Structure 1
Amino acid sequence: MSYLKFDKTLLTNLQKSLRKEILRTNKSGAYSANTITDCNTRKYHGLLVVPIPDLDDYNHVLLSSLDETIIQHGAEFNLGVHKYEENHFSPNGHKYIREFHFDATARTIYRVGGVVLEKDRIFISHENRYLIKYTLLDAHSRTTLRLRPFLAFRNVNDLCVANGKANTSYTETKNGIGMCLYDGYPTLFMQTSKQNEFIHHPDWYRGIEYPKEQERGYNYKEDLLIPGYFELSIEKGESIIFSAGTSPIETQNLAVLFESEIEKRTVRNSFFNSLKNAAQQFYFKRNGDYYLLAGYPWFKSRARDEFIALTGCTLAIEDASTFEKIMATALIAVNDFISEKPVEKAIYELDTPDVLLWFIRTVQQYAKAVSIEKANQLYGETVLKVISFIRKQNHPNLFLHDNGLLYTNGTQTAISWMNSMENGTPITPRTGYVVEINALWYNALKFGAEISTVQKDEYAADLLDYQSELTRQSFVHMFWNGTYLHDYVDGDYKDWEVRPNMIFAVSLPYSPLEKTQQKSIVDITTRELLTPKGLRTLSPKSPFYRPTYVGSMLERNRNYHNGPVWPWLTGSFAEAYLKIYKRSGVSFIERMLIGFESEMSELCLGTLSELHDGNPPFAGHGAMSFATSVAEILRTLKLLESIEQSGEQTKS
C-alpha cells in the first residue's frame, strides 16, 4: 500500500484536493508542479517549467497543462480540470479520478464507465523532458485517447494574455510536433511513443484562474494557447508515453527511458524516504557546477540557505559525494569573495554578514560526519582564511570590536535570515551585536583552533583560543539578561523580544554559555516558541506578535518573521534540547516530529513548506518545498539515529 495515497472521496472534493500539490524536478533547475487533480492553482504551476538563461535568470512555463479525453462510441469524456471565474470548473475531469498515488511516480487512476486508465508522470534527470505514461487497464470496446496541450511560453512571474504575436505554426518530428511561440524561447517538442494524428487547430482559452495567486493579492487570470490536439488509439493493456521536451527524442526509446528513470528514484514509502526524495530535488547542476536551490517554485541558490541546508540534504542521507561537489563550487565562490574578486558562481547573497559563519558551521558538520582530517584537507585553509578575513576587518558589513564581538549595521539592509523588507529597509531591523552572528563567531573561532591543531600550528590554535575566550566573556556580558538572551544589542538599546535566534548559542558545538544558562534558554524556547511545526519567530506574549502569513505581499512581509513558525529551526532546537536533556529528551523530540510527518500528505506531498502560521491549525505557506525545512528535519532524524546507535553500543 502506498505511503502517499488518496481515494476518490478526497479527490472529487476540490475544496480539499486543490490544496495538495506535487513537485518533480530534473536537478538542473527545471521542474513540473501542479495539484493532484492536475488543476493548476498557481502561475508557477506547469508540466514543463525550465530555465532559459539566454532570456533571464528565471524559470519559464512552456507546457502549462495537458488535457486528456477518452473517446468511446463517439462519446467524449474530458479528464482535465481548469478553474474559471465565479468558481466555475470546466471540464470536470476530477469526478472520474478513483485513486492517486505518489511513490516512485505520480500516478492517477481514472474510471470512465468500463474504461480504467492509469497515468504515471516522471521528470527525466538533468534533461528538460517530462514524460507521461498512459496505460489502459481495462476497456470493453475500441478506445481513442486525445491529448490537448495548453501552452504558455512565459516567465513564471508573468501571466499570458491572448495576442496575435504568438507563432502558432509547427514543424513535424517523429510522432509529434515542435512549436516555439516567441523568439528567444526554445522549441517545445511534443511526441508520443506511438504514431498519432495531430489536428492543428490553434485557439486561445481565456480567463483561466489561479486561486493561489488571488489569495496572495496578485493578478490571477491567464489566457493559454491550445495549438490543436493529438489523437491515437489505445488497446487494453497497452501503454503510450507522451514526451514534452526542449529537444526531439527517438520515440522508440521512451519506454526504456521511463523505466530507467524510475530505477534512479527513491520511492516515497516512508517519512524518511519522502524527505530524502525531496532533498535530492534541490540538487542543481549547471555548466559543470553544483548548487543547492533554496526552494521551489521561485527560489535560486542563496548562500545562507545552501550552507544551512547542505548537511541535511546530503550527509543526513549518506551522500557525502554530493556534499563535496556542491561545496567545491561554493568554495570557489567563498574564496573569490574573501579575495575581493568578482564572484562568478551563481550563488546569491554571499556578502550577507552571517553567511561566511554558516559556511564554517557547514564544514564543522562535515568534520563530524566524515572526519576532521578530511575536512581540513578539503576546506581547512578556506576556514582559516575566512576567520582571518573577518579579524582583519575586510568584510564590508561585519566589524570586529575590541570586546571580541562582531558588530553589523542592519538598519538599511537585512543582515540575517530575518530578511523581510519594506520600502528598501528591514521590517525587523536587527542591528549592532546580533545574537546568532556572535554565537556563530565564537563557534567558528573554536573550530578554527581545531583546524589549526590538525595542521600542527599550535601558535595559531592558541591565538584563536585566546580570541574565543575574549568573545565568550563579552558574549555573556552583552546578551545574557538573567533568563535568556537579548536578540540584538545596539548601543544602549537591548532587544528583549523572545525570538528563536538565541537557540544557536546552545545548539552549536561550542557554546559561550554555562549549562544553567543553556537550560534556561531551552526551557523558555520550549514554553513560548515551540509548536508542532517548528519554532515561532516571536513569542505570542509580544505586543508585536503577528502569527498569520496571509494577505497582501506587504502584510505578509510584515508578518514574515514576527510570529509565523519556521520548520528549519527544529534542527537546532532538537540539538539544544538533547544537549540539555540527553537520552531522556529523545522521546520528546520523536513526538515533536509527528507534526512534520503529517505534513507529508498535506500541502506539497512528500516535502515541507517554507513556514506556517504561528497559531493552530498552523497552516502552511510560502514556498511549496523549502530546502532548509527538509534538511533540518532530516538532520534531526539523523541525530536521533546516532543517539540510538550510541545507546546500543553502550549496552553491548
Structure 2
Amino acid sequence: MDRLDLCLSVSAPDRLGEREWMIANGLAGYASGRLDGTVSRRHDGLLVAALPVSGRTILLDRVEETVIPADGAPPFALFDALVEVRLERGLPVWRFARDGLELERRVVMPWRQNTTLLSHRLLAGGADIGLDIRPWMHFRGNDGPADQPLYPSVLSWQQGGRIEVTQGTFPPLRLAVRAAACSLILGDERTESAFYPIEAERDYTAHGPVWSPGRFALRLGAEGAELIASAEPWGAALAQNADAAWAAETGRRDRLIAHAVPAVRDPVGRQLVVAADAFLFEPRGRFDLAARSLAQGNEVRSVIAGYPWFNDWGRDTMIALEGLTLVTGRPDEARRILLTFAAYERDGLIPNNIPDGGTEGVYHAADASLWFFHALDRYLVATGDDETLDLILPVVRRSLDAHRAGTRFGIGVDPADGLLRQGAEGYMLTWMDSATPRRGKAVEINALWYNALTVMAGWLDTVGDGDGAAQAQVEAARLRESFNRRFWNPHTGFLFDLIDGEAGDDPACRCNQLLALSLPHPVLEPAHWAAVLDVVERRLLTPFGLRSLDPAAPDYRPSYAGDLHARDFAYHRGTVWAWLIGPFVDAWLKVHPGDRAGARRVLSGLAGHLDDFCVGTIAEVFDGDSPHRPRGCTAQAWSVAETLRAWANSAP
C-alpha cells in the first residue's frame, strides 16, 4: 500500500493510544491528538490557531462525539466503535462500525487558514442517525500551563445557527455546523477537569479546566455533516465545505510530491516530502518585518523547529533548509527563508530563536550563523542564484568580520591559532544547549567555521573581491592546520569534543566530531575520516540516529525521561538525535564512495518510525538504549529534513 494512504491497526487499543496525529496549516497553527480520539498533551487541540499577538493559541481543545442509533438502541461514544485509522496523503481518517452502522470521520485544515473542518459520514446502516458533538475549550497559549484559570466566556449568536465564543482578550472562536438537520443545545454548559497523561509523565501539571457551551445535535445522513472551527472571519471560515477543503489539500500535497526531486518519489520519500511541508510557515504576526520584506518584493518565511511547542530556531532552520526546501523542489521558499533570517542579523549573528508571537530575535548561539553560511551555500549550489547572493553578501561579510574581531557571548577567533572559541557565563551556545556547558573551542563549531571561510572565499571571488577571497583562504588554511594538530587525539583514535575548555580538553566520544568530515568542505584530513566514522558507527549509531554520548561514558543517560531537570541532564548525554543521520550518511558516502546501499540501510529504522509515535513524521529524540523510545517533540523539522536529504542521497 502507498505509504501516504497507510492503514494502522486497532487490534491493540493500548498501542493505538500511544500513537498521535498532527496536521499543520502553513501559519504554524496545527491540530493534534491521539489516534484513539483522546488528547494526551496540554498542547493538543482540534484548533491551535497561530494568532498575530498571542502566538499559537488553543481555541478548541477537543470534542466529545456520541452516536444515537435510529432504531432506539443505546447511544454510544463514537470512538468506542473504532475499527480503522488511516492516512490519506498524510491526513487522518477514522472508520467506526457497530451493529450494522459504519461511519467515517476526517479532519483537515485549509492551507494558511486558522480553520479546522471535522466531518462525519454515514457509510452504511440505512436510516439517518443522530450525532451529538460537544466542543470543549480552554483558551490559552499552546505551551501555557494546563491549570491556568478559565477566562469568563462570552457566547454570541450568529445567523444560521453559528456561534462565537470569546474568552479573555483572545480573538473569538467561531463554530458552525453543516448538516441535514441540526439544533444547538446551549445552556447545557459544563466545566470539567481534563487530564493530559504526557504532561504527568514529564512532571508538568497534568490537570486543567475545560468548558463547553453546550452541544450540537445533528442528523447524520448520506450527505454527511461537518463542524467548522475557525479564528478567521466568517466569510473565510465558511468558504469551503469539508469535501472541497479535503480535495484542495490532498491536491496541494500531490503537487508537492510532483515537484520534489525524483530520488524521493518512492513511498518513503513521498511521505517525508509531505511531512516536510508542515514546518514551512508564514509568520504573519511579524508586521514590521513583513512590511519591509514586501516593500522589497520578498515574502517572509520561516521554519517551525518542532511541533507542538518549539517556535523558529536559527540553527534548526539552517540545518533543515536543504531537506525541507531544495530536496522538495521549493527553492523559492529557501530564498525567502534566507532573506528573512538575513534581515534579523545583529552583530554578525542570526537569531538562536524568535519567540512565539514576537518580532525580536534572541541571539545566544555560536553555531546558528555558521549554519547560515552552509544553508546559503547549499541554496546557491542548487540554484546558481547570483541575485540572492548579491542581496545577502553584505550580511555574511558583516558576520565574517564580526567573528574575526569577536562579537557577543565570547564568540571570536583566537589569534593564537585561528580557531573559533565561544563562551559566556550562563549561556549554552552550541546545539548542545541544555545543561551541557562547552565553553572553549568546540569541534563542530570549528568545522562549521572552516566551511564558512571556504564558501565565503568562493563567493568573494565570484563578485571580484580577490583580496577578500585570498584572506579567507589564508585563514581557512591556518584553521585547518591548527584543527588537525589540536583536535586529533592519538590516544583515543578520534577527535576531542572540545579543546581549551574550562576543564581542559574534553576527550568524550560524541557525535559532534562527525561534522569535521561530513560538511561539504571538511576540515579533517582524509587520513582520519575512516577512523572517526568507525568509532561513531560502533559507539553512537542506532536505528534512529546517533547517540549524543558514548554509552561507556560515566555521565551517559540511557533514557530521556523524568522531570525537566532529569531530561535536561540527559538531553545531550546519550539521547539519540535523528537529525544526525544526515551527517552520518554524508560521512559514510565519503568514506565508502558509491555505497548507497550501505547508507540506505542505516535509514531503515527511521523509515519504519513513520508509522509510529506521531504517524507520518519523525520525533525529535529517542532514548539512548534499546528499544529507543521516541521522546520530545512529536514532529521535528531537522529530523524530517535530514532523513529526507539522506534518503535522496542514498537513492539507488
Q: Same fold (TM over 0.5)?
A: yes
Q: Among 250, 255, 261, which residue is 1:262 paired with? A: 250
**Partner SS, residue 644 of structure 2:** helix
Q: What is the 5 A alignment of 1:120-159?
A: 120-159=106-145
Deviations 1:578-624 (A, max 9, x none): 111111x3211111111001111110011100100111111100001
Task: Give 1:423's aligned residue.
Answer: none
2:458 maps to 1:450: yes
Return 188-197 or 353-362, whichever deviates more. 188-197
Q: What is the 5 A alignment of 1:97-176?
A: 97-104=82-89, 105-159=91-145, 166-167=152-153, 169-176=155-162
Give, as a single letter, the amino acid of the residue that structure 2 aligns with 1:550. Answer: A
Give, as a single letter, the amino acid of the residue that structure 2 aligns with 1:620. Answer: P
Q: What is the 5 A alignment of 1:243-392?
A: 243-246=228-231, 247-249=233-235, 251=238, 253-254=240-241, 255-266=243-254, 270-287=267-284, 288=290, 289-334=300-345, 346=359, 348-371=361-384, 373=386, 376-392=389-405
Give, as a single letter, the amino acid of the residue that structure 2 aligns with 1:327. Answer: L
Return 433-442 or 264-273, whichever deviates more. 264-273
Give, as a single letter, the amino acid of the residue that structure 1 aligns with 2:460. Answer: S
User: Is the Cα–Cα contact under 8 Å of residues 161 and 176 in structure 2 kept in the other structure?
Assistant: yes
**Partner SS, residue 442 of structure 1:** helix
Q: What is the 5 A alignment of 1:185-200?
A: 185-194=170-179, 196-200=182-186
Task: Give 1:90's aligned residue.
Answer: none
Task: Give 2:647's aligned residue.
Answer: 637
Deviations 1:524-548 (A, max 9, x none): 1111111111110000111111120
User: Is the Cα–Cα contact under 8 Å of residues 178 and 189 in structure 1 kept in the other structure?
Assistant: yes
Return 141-150 or 26-35, whichever deviates more. 141-150
Task: Give 1:25's aligned residue.
Answer: 24
Q: Distance between the aligned counterparts of 1:415 and 1:19, measured in 2?
A: 34
Task: Give 1:595's aligned residue.
Answer: 605
Task: Give 1:428's aligned residue.
Answer: 436
Deviation at 1:154, TM superposition (A): 2.0
2:206 maps to 1:220: yes
Q: Among 396, 417, 421, which residue is 2:431 paired with? A: 417
Task: Give 1:609's aligned residue.
Answer: 619
Identity %: 28
Task: Give 2:287's aligned residue.
Answer: none
User: Is the Cα–Cα contact under 8 Å of residues 574 and 589 in structure 1 kept in the other structure?
Assistant: yes
Give, as a single letter, the amino acid of the residue that structure 1 aligns with 2:441. Answer: Y
Task: Give 2:33's aligned residue.
Answer: 34
Deviations 1:109-161 (A, max 9, x none): 11121221111110111111000121111122331222111111122234556
**Partner SS, residue 231 of structure 1:** strand
Deviation at 1:163, TM superposition (A): 7.0
User: Is the Cα–Cα contact under 8 Å of residues 376 and 454 in structure 1 kept in the other structure?
Assistant: no
User: Is the Cα–Cα contact under 8 Å of residues 443 and 496 in structure 2 kept in the other structure?
Assistant: yes
Deviations 1:476-520 (A, max 9, x none): 122111211111112671100000111111011222222111221
Return 237-246 or 528-537, whichever deviates more. 237-246
Deviations 1:342-381 (A, max 9, x none): x998474434111111110111111222227466344334
User: Is the Cα–Cα contact under 8 Å of residues 312 and 631 in structure 1 kept in the other structure?
Assistant: yes
2:540 maps to 1:532: no
User: Is the Cα–Cα contact under 8 Å of residues 162 and 224 in structure 1 kept in the other structure?
Assistant: no
Deviations 1:611-644 (A, max 9, x none): 0011111110000100110111111122224xx5
**Partner SS, residue 305 of structure 1:** helix
Deviation at 1:411, TM superposition (A): 4.7
Q: Distance between the aligned counterparts of 2:19 and 2:142, measured in 1?
A: 20
**Partner SS, residue 423 of structure 2:** coil
Q: Distance between the aligned counterparts of 1:605 and 1:308, measured in 2?
A: 23
User: Is the Cα–Cα contact under 8 Å of residues 193 and 252 in structure 1 kept in the other structure?
Assistant: no
Task: Give 1:66's aligned residue.
Answer: 63
Gaps of 5+ in 1: 80-92, 421-426, 645-652
Q: What is the 5 A alignment of 1:503-522?
A: 503-522=514-533
User: Is the Cα–Cα contact under 8 Å of residues 204 and 226 in structure 1 kept in the other structure?
Assistant: yes
**Partner SS, residue 83 of structure 2:** strand
User: Is the Cα–Cα contact under 8 Å of residues 146 and 206 in structure 2 kept in the other structure?
Assistant: no
**Partner SS, residue 588 of structure 1:** helix
Give, as a single letter, the amino acid of the residue that structure 2 aligns with 1:102. Answer: L
Return 191-200 or 274-283, whichever deviates more. 191-200
C-alpha RMSD over aligned residues: 2.5
Q: What is the 5 A alignment of 1:38-53?
A: 38-53=37-52
Give, as a single letter, the amino acid of the residue that structure 2 aligns with 1:99. Answer: E
User: Is the Cα–Cα contact under 8 Å of residues 65 and 134 in structure 2 kept in the other structure?
Assistant: yes
Deviation at 1:551, TM superposition (A): 0.9
Give, as a single letter, the amino acid of the residue that structure 2 aligns with 1:30. Answer: G
Task: Give 1:89's aligned residue.
Answer: none
Give, as a single letter, the amino acid of the residue that structure 1 aligns with 2:277. Answer: Q
Paired residues in the alignment total 616
Q: Distance between the aligned counterparts of 1:162 and 1:377, measured in 2?
A: 49
2:225 maps to 1:234: no
Return 363-372 or 397-406, whichever deviates more. 363-372
Q: What is the 5 A alignment of 1:73-84?
A: 73-79=71-77
Q: Distance between the aligned counterparts of 1:396 and 1:431, measured in 2?
A: 10
Task: Give 2:558's aligned residue.
Answer: 547
Give, as a single letter, the amino acid of the residue that structure 1 aligns with 2:548. Answer: T
User: Is the Cα–Cα contact under 8 Å of residues 5 and 100 in structure 1 kept in the other structure?
Assistant: no
Counterparts in 2 of 1:458 and 1:120: CA distance versus 1, 3 Å: same
Q: Distance between the aligned counterparts of 1:200 and 1:12, measured in 2?
A: 38
Q: Among 407, 424, 432, which residue is 1:394 paired with? A: 407
Counterparts in 2 of 1:494 and 1:252: CA distance versus 1, 3 Å: closer
Task: Give 1:465's aligned residue.
Answer: 473
Q: Distance between the aligned counterparts of 1:339 and 1:115, measured in 2?
A: 57
Give, as a single letter, the amino acid of the residue that structure 2 aligns with 1:405. Answer: L
Q: Distance between the aligned counterparts of 1:223 and 1:484, measured in 2?
A: 54
Q: Distance between the aligned counterparts of 1:348 and 1:534, measured in 2?
A: 30
Task: Give 1:575's aligned residue.
Answer: 586
Counterparts in 2 of 1:113 and 1:532: CA distance versus 1, 3 Å: same
Counterparts in 2 of 1:126 and 1:475: CA distance versus 1, 3 Å: same
User: Is the Cα–Cα contact under 8 Å of residues 303 and 347 in structure 1 kept in the other structure?
Assistant: no
